[in-house]
Amino acid sequence: MRRAFAAFVLLALACTEPYAARPATTSGTPASASTTPPADTALARPDVAPDADALPRAGALQYVEIILGDAKPDDRLPMIVAVHGLGDDPRNFGHLFDTFTEPARLILPQGIDPRDGGGWSWFPMRARDADVDALAQGIGSAADVLAESIRVLTKARPTAGKPILTGFSQGGMLGFAVAVRHPEVVGLVLPVGGWLPPPLVPTTKAPKGAPPIVAFHGTDDSAVKYEPTKLGVEALKGHGWDATLVTYTGVGHVITPELHRDLFDRVTDGLRAAAKAK
């Protein structure tokens, strides 16, 4: 009980703006991080001088890579792409997986624009801004950039199956958008506290092989409202998408221990299915 409460405190702090730094936990299998890109020309940036402290780059995005469980970097592994929210950074968001012990390659992309208050942003508009068209345009553009980076990394790494894409807040919005704009890139999408604005909802039937979408959302979320997310999921279902909304009554814009557990259950199922893929 005490451990669950401590986890809730850390995750609640991390889901406010700006994000608080979180200490690494000691439970679970230690993860190993790599900041060395593979020998792949698609990842190279000849116009940029080498920097020992710089993150590697895939396409237009920088990222952190962490090997989870007892796996090795050269192993053929299922991939998790976890996208942070507004004001966060990939290393901090990676603590969400401190206790995750399934073998996997965790990719943590870094947001596109640095923020004056610290951390990174994926697009300039917020979910509560009135200009929904501008918000949708920003989400769509960022989703296109993210999808290309996922393509590059999936090709460069020994990857089992298609990647699992998850993210919180802005990261959850990007999860929805990548699923509908680039359904061939990912095998499962798990948005947390995200939303797909109406201009991004497809008007045609879901393509064959489109990824299942399982969204997690609290009913008392004041940053990304619950009702629009519910309507968005229903609209996707109406067009034949395999979309589900998992609801947490009374929960705000935070990742509670219950949500954390449910998310990990879905990730684990997706990883095990991907590991069996040819």
Quick check: is 46 in a domain?
no
Spatial CA neighbour of 143 closest among 67, 105, 194:
194
Task: Round to whole Å and give the CA distance between 160 and 144.
Answer: 23
pLDDT at 36 over 60: no
Q: What is the pLDDT of residues 158-214, one digit of tens each?
A: 999 999 999 999 999 999 999 999 999 999 999 999 999 999 999 899 999 999 999
The total of structural domains in the chain comes to 1
Res 53: pLDDT: 59
Give the mean model confidence (pLDDT) for residues 55-74: 96
Task: Round to whole Å and give the CA distance between 142 and 205.
Answer: 23
pLDDT at 100 over 70: yes
Neighbours of 205 (CB within 10 A): 11
What is the token pair recorded at 127? 């979910």
275 touches 161 (CB < 8 A): yes
Average pLDDT, the chain: 84
**93 band by pLDDT with thresholds 50, 70 and 90:** very high
Spatial CA neighbour of 176 closest among 204, 129, 168, 15:
168
What is the token pair recorded at 195? 């939303």
Res 117: pLDDT: 85
- φ/ψ of 277, rounded to 5, equals -70, 145
Quick check: is 138 in a domain?
yes
Quick check: is 250 in a domain?
yes
**127 band by pLDDT with thresholds 50, 70 and 90:** low
**73 band by pLDDT with thresholds 50, 70 and 90:** very high
Quick check: is 45 in a domain?
no
More confident residue, 179 or 44: 179
Spatial CA neighbour of 111 closest among 76, 146, 137:
146
Res 131: pLDDT: 84
Give the mean model confidence (pLDDT) for residues 217-233: 97
Res 245: pLDDT: 98
Spatial CA neighbour of 81 closest among 155, 165, 189, 193:
165
Q: What is the CATH number of the domain that holds 259?
A: 3.40.50.1820
pLDDT at 277 over 50: yes
Give the mean model confidence (pLDDT) for residues 152-159: 97
Task: Round to whole Å and give the CA distance between 112 and 31.
Answer: 25
The letter for the amino acid at 256 is T
Based on C-alpha coordinates, what's the Rg of the chain? 17
Question: For residue 125, what are the contacts with CB-CB under 8 A and spacing of at least 6?
Answer: 131, 134, 135, 138
The range of the structural domain enclosing residue 172 comes to 2-33+53-275
CA distances from 166 to 5, 38, 185, 202, 216 (A): 23, 23, 13, 20, 10
Quick check: is 221 in a domain?
yes
pLDDT at 254 over 80: yes
Task: Round to whole Å and give the CA distance between 48 and 146.
Answer: 20
Q: How many helices (H) and strands (E) does the chain have?
A: 6, 11
pLDDT at 228 over 90: yes
18 prior amide bond cis, ω within 30: yes
The letter for the amino acid at 230 is K
The letter for the amino acid at 243 is A
Quick check: is 47 in a domain?
no
